[in-house]
Structure 1
Amino acid sequence: MVLLNLFVVTSLGAVDSRSVESSPIKPNVVLILADDLGYTDLGVMGSDLYQTPNIDGLASQGLRFTNAHSSHPTCSPSRTAIMTGKYPARLGIVGHGGRGTVTAGDGTFMPCEEYTMAEALTDAGYTTCHIGKWHVGHEGTTGPKEQGFQFDIASNEFCCPGSYIYPYRNKKKAGVQAENSAVPDLQDRGPDDHLTECLGDEAVKFISSHKDEPFFLNLAYYAVHTPIESERDKVAKYKKLITPDSRQRNAAYAGLVEHLDESVGRVLKAIRDNGLERNTIVIFFSDNGGEVTHGETSNYPLRDGKVSQYLGGIRVPLIVKWPGVTPVGATSEIPVIGHDLYPSILQMVGAQGDTKHNAQIDGVDLTAVFQDPASQLDRQALHWLRYPVVFHYRKGERKRGPVGTIIKGNWKLMEFFPTPHGQDRSFELYNLREDISEQENVAAANPELVTELHQEMIRWRESVDAPEYEMAFKEYEKIP
């Protein structure tokens, strides 16, 4: 991968006292990752209930993507893709975690030999910090510190926190799950401190302590993943705002979104207060689409949500503020995907990465789009692949069963695999420009296009050496 030195003094404003003679200033990078935040869960993205003035303000200062996607419709594979720049399927992750298996929770999730974004930036002279949800490995083998982060704060061994309320553990349960879901490092907090606020406060401390050196902060919120818990005054506020016409109707979820927005606001303020605004890249993203199973949110006009490969499960908000480079308040319709962030961030800061790792990166450098939102990318299609996910799949739920997907231009083809529960192989084809809600399956009317796109899906699976699908997966034995 050829990298250009894009951060010249003129793009960053006047040189400050931290510059060394004529050497360029390395920009700080703050990657803010929300958990399960849906495509329309922000005011700027069209929410009809949630109030997110701080994140909306970030969008007004940077570039907002309207056609951004997560690399997978669930969190572990999606986060692995961000950290490695690779399709999850290339790493054998075709379930909800684990390498070379579809077994959720087994294995090392992200292989320890992967050269992560954190390792690349550490090698480029950055101080690196992870705060919050990890869920792509285990402490001691593939935790944040083993995968390149010098600081690791408040990361547990689970998908979510035991509670957002102090002491941030599930008081009603005991055992391994309760211990794994407990959030560490926040023992000095109290009953008035919501977990989401705590993570923002830890980020503020890190920024203030490392303002005189280039840093990479990976701020991975647990919000807005379950359990849906927010302060009572916020719940009461949104109950009053819900109308008969509201599509988003969960007041507690709305409150949790507001907690997230307020915490992000604290982080953005810390960047300003420490004089770092002109030299700090801020990226806001979500790991997958919004959860809709129990009425958490609505992703309308997109169909379905988390786990599903309909757009509600994979299309997400993406905002990039690169001072002096991204146009202010601009939008881009260019299709992008989570693992594009790896090569893009390396390019933005001038980090070389690892030659062997770079040769297998699936992500595409987006810096040309950051400069000109109308730029085109040299990429033909986007792909997804998911086999059984025990945590989210039940018999007869075809839309959440094993499926492969390709988006190429305006067309989206989904291949539903046969299952032991009686599901036959089938295809769904949608014209996304005309049918963003994916309501009209036009596969029967376009057999040649289905064949063409399906062949491209097969070639892609072969190119990334994806695990082959089997009707005899042991996972199926665990599905009630």
Structure 2
Amino acid sequence: MNRFTQTRHAFLALFFGVALTISSTAVMATGDRPNIVFILADDLGYSDLGCTGSDLYQTPNIDAFASDSLRFERAYTSPTCSPSRAAIMSGKNPARLGIVGHGGLRSMEGGGDFLVSDEYTVAEALRDSGYSTCHIGKWHVGTKGVTGPREQGFDEVIASNEFCCPGSYFYPFRDKRKTGKAAARSAVPDLDDRNPGDHLTKCLGEEAVDYLERQKTSDKPFFLNLWYYAVHTPIEAQRDKVAKYKQLVDPNGHQRNPSYAALVEHLDDSVGSVLKAIDEKGLSDNTIVIFFSDNGGEIRKGVTSNFPLRSGKTSLYEGGVRVPLFIRWPGITQAGQTCQEAVAGHDLYPTILRMTGVKGHAGQNAKMDGVDITQLLRDPSASLPSRAMHWLRYGELVHYPTYKNDREFGPCAAIRKGDWKMVERYPTPHGLEHRFELFNLQEDPYEAQNRASEEPAKLAELQRDLAAWQTEIEIPTYDELAYPAFEKMK
């Protein structure tokens, strides 16, 4: 090859490379960006699906989706719903936001606006870059008109009440036994056209399908935030489903609640209808679907079991903070693959930005605790930069009577670093003592063996790291904020 030919080939390569870059940028700018469907279950535990080891619940639709997606085996969240949802929307650890209980900012009262308007949410980032945005279902990180879903970036808001759960899962989706403010807050709006006997979980799926139908003719990409109320209490399901599981319960099994099993099936049916609509409406090739849960399953009063993980909702043991996470990114993720890398709910915000090519807000991005995990979506065997995960749960006054002397669910903090996890259990005025627990999750995933006395050097390392993190996020200490409030409780 002579010098002229070499120069000509180099020029053509450069030309077509530039042209390809320009073309790709143009395509991204003219509506070929991927759609996002974010499906969030409420209180769905790690073992509440067939594909994650349930010994009772039947979830064929979600199981099939998991098989078609990348499945994360070590996906973490907060132990209750408001902190976990605030983390998803902000990309920040909820303690950095000041949420150290089930709601209130740097407060033991709970309630109120859990996600302040200063946070530039993932919905705002997508909306401001040209996405249509829709929130359907539970919100519970702010109040309507102040920091509700519409104020936090959603063009459309459907069936979102002012509370943690619905008054009832059956039409008219309100608690007929109550009146006043509590009844009004728990009532689910926008579904007046439904009929007696209709289940809320099915209705939310129908609203999602209707939204997808409207997006078929839109020239804008969309972000559908489908946050179910199920499987949170009240545990209500259709009688035929409950009867079905009464026949299937194994008295020696870990999961033995037929009503909860039926509610899980309602969730699976609804999710299945949404996934089917994505396919039938020709959206599947350009729609990323994320399925996640806000916290571990509720094990108290026999609701469910997270076995083989320890404990459940509100606890910082694995059963309270480790949940299912499946992501399907057409053309990127490969069906049937699993990832063992530890990830967290606040990682999803920066990941969505990378997947969609949206820049977001520089100030918000710089203060995020979450990291972009798209490299794991491309290669599940990859590793993220070394980092620790932190949790902080002081508690709140309204729920304090249920855990004031309960060693499993009392106030605590935790840190996971590599295979090691330390739980610091805070004292209460009513019987709980201050102590540390240390577990090696690789050797002891059930957290049955406290290694604190055997590994003093590792314990001291994690104590220092946890204390340094609490100082860095500028949160009042437990002794300053929580203990004095609990002392006033009778």
Q: 1:255 to 1:214 in 2, by over 3 A?
A: same
Q: 1:52 to 1:327 in 2, by over 3 A?
A: same
1:139 maps to which of 144, 154, 168:
144
Residue in 2 aligned with 1:66? 73
CA contact (8 A) 2:31 2:221 kept: no
User: 1:95-134 maps to which residues of 2 (within 5 A)?
Assistant: 95-105=101-111, 107-134=112-139
Residue in 2 aligned with 1:55? 62
Residue in 1 aligned with 2:390? 383
Residue in 2 aligned with 1:291? 298
User: 1:268-417 maps to which residues of 2 (within 5 A)?
Assistant: 268-389=275-396, 390-391=398-399, 393-417=402-426
**Rounded Cα–Cα distance in structure 1 between residues aligned with 2:327 and 2:340:** 14
SS of equivalent to 1:258: helix
Post-superposition CA distance 1:262-319 (Å, at most 9, x none): 0001101111111000100000000000001111100001111000001010000000
**Rounded Cα–Cα distance in structure 2 between residues aligned with 1:26 and 1:467:** 42
**Rounded Cα–Cα distance in structure 1 between residues aligned with 2:103 and 2:189:** 22
Post-superposition CA distance 1:398-447 (Å, at most 9, x none): 22222110111111101112222232221000111111111111101111
CA contact (8 A) 1:89 1:465 kept: no
CA contact (8 A) 1:340 1:362 kept: yes
**Rounded Cα–Cα distance in structure 2 between residues aligned with 1:478 and 1:204:** 50
Letter in 2 for 1:476: F
Shift of 1:362: 0.3
Percent identity (aligned): 58
**Rounded Cα–Cα distance in structure 1 between residues aligned with 2:151 and 2:76:** 28
Letter in 2 for 1:124: S
Residue in 2 aligned with 1:449? 458
**Rounded Cα–Cα distance in structure 2 between residues aligned with 1:436 and 1:151:** 42
**Rounded Cα–Cα distance in structure 2 between residues aligned with 1:283 and 1:394:** 33
Instruction: Tell whether 2:486 aligns with 1:476.
Output: yes
CA contact (8 A) 1:129 1:152 kept: yes
SS of equivalent to 1:247: coil
CA contact (8 A) 1:406 1:457 kept: yes
CA contact (8 A) 2:42 2:229 kept: yes
Q: 1:478 to 1:278 in 2, by over 3 A?
A: farther
Residue in 1 aligned with 2:470? 461
Report the count of equivalent residues: 462
Structure 1 unaligned spans of 5+: 1-9
**Rounded Cα–Cα distance in structure 1 between residues aligned with 2:371 and 2:437:** 27
Shift of 1:24: 6.9
Residue in 1 aligned with 2:100? 94
Shift of 1:478: 6.7
SS of equivalent to 1:404: strand
Residue in 2 aligned with 1:149? 154
Residue in 1 aligned with 2:89? 83
**Rounded Cα–Cα distance in structure 1 between residues aligned with 2:295 and 2:120:** 23
Instruction: Tell whether 2:432 aligns with 1:423.
Output: yes
Structure 1 or 2, whichever has the larger Rg, is 2
Letter in 1 for 2:69: G
Structure 2 unaligned spans of 5+: 1-19
Instruction: Tell whether 2:442 aligns with 1:436.
Output: no
Shift of 1:21: 10
Post-superposition CA distance 1:6-43 (Å, at most 9, x none): xxxx9xxxx9xxx9699571100000000000001011
Post-superposition CA distance 1:316-341 (Å, at most 9, x none): 00000001101111111110111000
Residue in 2 aligned with 1:3? none
**Rounded Cα–Cα distance in structure 2 between residues aligned with 1:21 and 1:337:** 28
Q: 1:448 to 1:239 in 2, by over 3 A?
A: same
SS of equivalent to 1:340: helix
**Rounded Cα–Cα distance in structure 2 between residues aligned with 1:182 and 1:115:** 28
Q: With the length of structure 1 as denominator, give the TM-score of the two structures.
A: 0.93
Shift of 1:103: 1.8
Q: With the length of structure 2 as denominator, give the TM-score of the two structures.
A: 0.92
Residue in 2 aligned with 1:231? 238
